[in-house]
Amino acid sequence: MKLNIGCVKIEFDVESQYGSLKETKEHHGLTGKGMLLHAQRELDSESAD
């Protein structure tokens, strides 16, 4: 499976990883770009703790 976000390409070794990510993305109404930006903010806020 591949997820293309602009020029970012993610290859999944296991199809269930893709399915899980897609379900989360759809549940929260995010785009692929939105998922990356959200993850970045979360990771940055964790490192600030």
Mean pLDDT within 25-38: 91
Parallel, antiparallel, or unpaired for β 2-5 and 8-11?
antiparallel
9 pLDDT tier (thresholds 50, 70, 90): confident
User: In whole angstroms, what is the distance from residue 47 CA to residue 49 CA?
Assistant: 5
Residues forming a β-bridge with 30: none
Given a cut of 80, is residue 11 above it in pLDDT? yes
In this prediction, residue 4 carries a pLDDT of 66
In this prediction, residue 41 carries a pLDDT of 94
- Mean pLDDT, the chain, as a whole number? 87
Given a cut of 70, is residue 44 above it in pLDDT? yes
Beta strands in 1-49 (DSSP E): 2-5, 8-11
